[in-house]
């Protein structure tokens, strides 16, 4: 839906990445014909190879799946060299779940995230927000822009 919205607003050069081909296929199907306007990438983000540069990088609930320091370092190296301007990251907060889809995740506070990203990025703002899932459960997120 974010991609749909961005296209409606006239944004161009949009790339969508997910490790799961099924997730990409579902997003493509939702967009229909408009999916041709988007670059789709099936890749582990920590192994993403690109020469593209992004004005805005939006990550909702992927960064928190990276548990090992080596995964986080690889992600930040890729993000650090590919992002021209802004990065928005949504992770589960300290008051959020400790798993997502049965998989362990890393919870973040503003300070912990800032510390993790400080080598490449400067914090602009962080807010906590409750997300109500389709099962009507509440997940507390930390949404941050850098």
Q: Which residues bind ligand SAM (CB under 6 A)?
A: 18-20, 23, 44-46, 60-62, 65, 100
107 three-state secondary structure: coil
Nearer CB in complex with ligand SAM: 67/124? 67
Q: What is the CA radius of gyration of the chain?
A: 15
Q: Smallest distance, Å, CB 100 to ligand SAM?
A: 6
Count of alpha carbons within 13 Å of 28, Cβ hemisphere only?
16
Q: Closest separation between CB of residue 26 and ligand SAM, Å? A: 9
The CB-of-90 to ligand SAM minimum distance in angstroms stands at 7
**Nearer Cβ to ligand SAM (68/111):** 68
Order the strands of the 138-145 sheet from edge to edge: 54-60, 83-92, 138-145, 125-132
Residue whose CB is less far from ligand SAM, 18 or 87: 18
Q: Give the residue with the Cβ less far from ligand SAM, 62 or 126.
A: 62
Strands 138-145 and 83-92, bridge-based pairing: antiparallel
Least Å distance between CB 129 and ligand SAM?
13
- Give the C-alpha distances (Å, rounded to integers) separating 25 from 70, 86, 139, 141: 29, 27, 26, 26
Helices (H) and strands (E) in the chain — how many of each? 4, 8
CB of 115 to ligand SAM, least distance (A): 21
Residue 84 or 133 with smaller CB distance to ligand SAM: 133
């Amino acid at each position: 839906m974010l991609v749909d919205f961005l296209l409606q607003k006239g944004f161009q050069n949009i790339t969508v990445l997910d490790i799961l081909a099924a997730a990409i296929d579902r997003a493509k199907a939702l967009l229909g014909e408009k999916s041709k306007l988007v670059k789709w990438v099936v890749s582990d983000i920590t192994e993403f190879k690109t020469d593209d540069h992004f004005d805005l990088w939006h990550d909702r609930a992927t960064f928190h799946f990276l548990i090992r320091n080596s995964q986080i370092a690889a992600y930040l190296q890729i993000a650090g060299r590919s992002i021209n301007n802004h990065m928005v990251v949504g992770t589960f907060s300290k008051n959020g779940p400790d798993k997502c889809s049965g998989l362990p995740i890393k919870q973040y506070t503003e300070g912990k995230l800032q510390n993790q990203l400080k080598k490449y990025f400067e914090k602009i703002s962080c807010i906590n927000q409750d997300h109500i899932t389709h099962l009507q459960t509440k997940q507390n997120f930390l949404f941050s822009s850098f």
